[in-house]
Amino acid sequence: MAIRFISLWLSLFFISLFSSTLSIPRIGPAFPSSIIRAEQQPSFATSNQPYRIKFFTQILDHFNYHPQSYQTFQQRYLINDTFWDGPKNNAPIFVYTGNEGEIEWFAQNTGFMFEIAPHFKALLVFIEHRFYGESIPFGGDKNAAYKNSSTLGFLSSTQALADYATLIIDLKKNLSAQDSPVVVFGGSYGGMLAAWFRLKYPHVAIGALASSSPVLFFENITSPYGFNDIITNDFRSESENCYKVIKGSWQQIEDTANQPGGLEVLRESFKICKNYISANYLEGWLQTALVYTAMTDYPTPSNFLNPLPAYPVKQMCKAIDDPALGNDTFAKLHAAANIYYNYSGAAKCFDLADDSDPHGLGGWQWQACTEMVMPTDGNSQDSLFPASSWNYSERVAICQRFYNVQPRPTWITTEFGGHDIERVLKRFGSNVIFFNGLRDPWSAGGVLKSISKSIVAIVAKEGAHHVDLRFSTSEDPEWLKDVRSREVKIISRWLSQYYHTLETAFNIN
């Protein structure tokens, strides 16, 4: 049985395998090395990055006063002041609240901020999340920081938010820009952080654009079947045959694996490299491709995780429905897997055991074992994947084994809320945009209905994971252009209200 801890933005896919050949469950992101690393946006080539890289001395623990709490680490942030109108005019500061990986990768995938900065004359800042990229506590040594729960204990969303507040306040002081309004942006986990930042630090940020942020994917708020139901629907609405072929394949893989020589048949059918193979690994590898393809089902070619064509779900189903492959299920699935893992055509064979992690997302595993307990793993009878129920005890067992840590599944809702969010936020809080694309499985845990005049949900039926934040292209469909222009309008309104308040502040008595 394969358990997946799915991370957000890029979404890590953790597969744990209780295999007879491995005594320890393996939990690791599946990034086959045959994948060509995402090519960089031309403007992001190392020689010509559109930002300067800075480091800030950050405090290890914002919430305690033990001697150890006062240790510091170097937190990385990226800054671009090309478009900024400066402190004299109180020109705005747009801050990306970094998620679970290296910040440069997120900056690279948030073209939207670069594209709107000239209009707003905004300063751009991208802050790296602690424990990721180069923002590693304990002397910048990742092995030391990730050693065990004594060090990983400082990796949490509340600490990250406090880092962002501390850094932003200090940066504004250094720039003499105390009155410049700050708007925070984020996608996925970064979007959750942006939304929570606005609610917790209203004196630091005047508003938040939270894209594809599943703030409701906790406890019993969202159905554990929601995530996979959406993936199922993405494929099924493309073609019933495509859905049936994929759904039928899991049993066929297991039956084949159980026959003498069956694993070699699978190896040949899927062109798996000559190292470790098992039915579990193969299924996990295929499921990874299906999940991420659904998440990144963008209307234009993309290169987020892997190079992909426009509407890759459609392309996968086209491969599966291709009559030339007759009734050969494995050939069909191999063809579909090729869309995700081998769109460039360069892969000689696929390495199922590869767990390379080019964007440094591995810390999510700790977060998933402590506070980010998001029940996404349920599969109904109709699911594209084998039916299974979300089993919290299983998560507990893995986390115990891996980190000797007990998850706290109710902490996020205790700290940030989530239950009855409409009622709670109706008269509290303001200036948050929740964007969701309904083809994105994470939208199951998103805020899909506007809560008040200024806590606004923007929903795109055809949209995928934080599609709004991506660089625009000349091929973008109208609905995507509309989403972005609505977001710009709303942010403009927040800023005018802020400036108006700033001007009239002394007139209020």
Interface with ligand NAG (CB under 6 A): 43, 50-52, 54, 56-57, 80, 82, 114, 147-150, 167, 170-171, 174, 219-220, 271, 326-327, 338, 342, 345, 347, 349-350, 389, 391, 393-394, 397, 409-410
CB 467 within 8 A of CB 304: no
Q: How, if at all, do strands 455-460 and 302-303 pair?
A: unpaired
How far apart are the C-alpha atoms of 342 and 203, rounded to whole Å?
A: 47
Question: Residue 394 Cβ, how far from ligand NAG at the closest point, in Å?
Answer: 4
91 vs 347 by CB, closer to ligand NAG: 347
Give, to the nearest 10 degrees, the angle between helix 262-270 and helix 329-341. Answer: 50
Q: Which is nearer to ligand NAG, 368 or 458 (CB)?
A: 368
What whole-number distance in Å separates Cα of residue 217 and Cα of residue 8? Answer: 11
Comparing CB distances to ligand NAG, the nearer of 171 and 432 is: 171
What do you get for the CA distance between the two ends of the chain, in Å? 66
Q: Sheet of 13-17: strands edge to edge?
A: 2-6, 13-17, 26-29
Structure token pair of residue 160: 């990250």
The least distance separating ligand NAG from the CB of residue 250, rounded to whole angstroms, comes to 15
Q: Would you say 378 or 441 has its CB closer to ligand NAG? A: 378
Q: Is 465 a catalytic residue?
A: yes
Q: How many CB atoms lie within 10 A of CB 343?
A: 19
The amino acid at 419? H
Considering the candidates 359, 465, 466, 468, report the single residue annotated as catalytic. Answer: 465
Residue nearer to ligand NAG on the CB measure, 314 or 419: 419
- Name the catalytic one among 211, 440, 466, 468: 440
Helix axes 240-257, 312-321, angle to 10 degrees: 70
Backbone torsion region of residue 176, taken as left when φ is above 0, otherwise alpha when ψ lies between -120 and 50, otherwise beta: left
Structure tokens at 117: 């900065």
- Rounded Cα distance between 180 and 205, Å, is 10
**For residues 178 and 186, what is the distance between their CA atoms, to the nearest angstrom?**
22
Closest alpha carbon to 19 in 39, 35, 2, 34:
2
Nearest distance in Å: CB 188, ligand NAG: 22
Min separation Cβ 77 and ligand NAG, Å: 7
Which one is catalytic: 16, 135, 188, 388?
188
Nearest approach in angstroms of CB 388 to ligand NAG is 8
Of 356 and 501, which has the nearer Cβ to ligand NAG? 356
Minimum distance of ligand NAG from residue 346's CB (angstroms) = 7
500 catalytic? Reply is: no
User: CA torsion sign, 423 to 425 to 431 to 434?
Assistant: negative
Query: Quick one: 330 or 364, whose CB is closer to ligand NAG?
Result: 330
Rounded to whole angstroms, the Cα distance separating 227 from 54 reads: 38
CA count, 13 A, side-chain hemisphere, 325: 18
CB of 358 to ligand NAG, least distance (A): 19
- Supply 283's token pair: 């299924």
Per the CB < 8 A criterion, the answer to whether 110 and 469 are in contact is yes
Active-site positions read 188, 440, 465
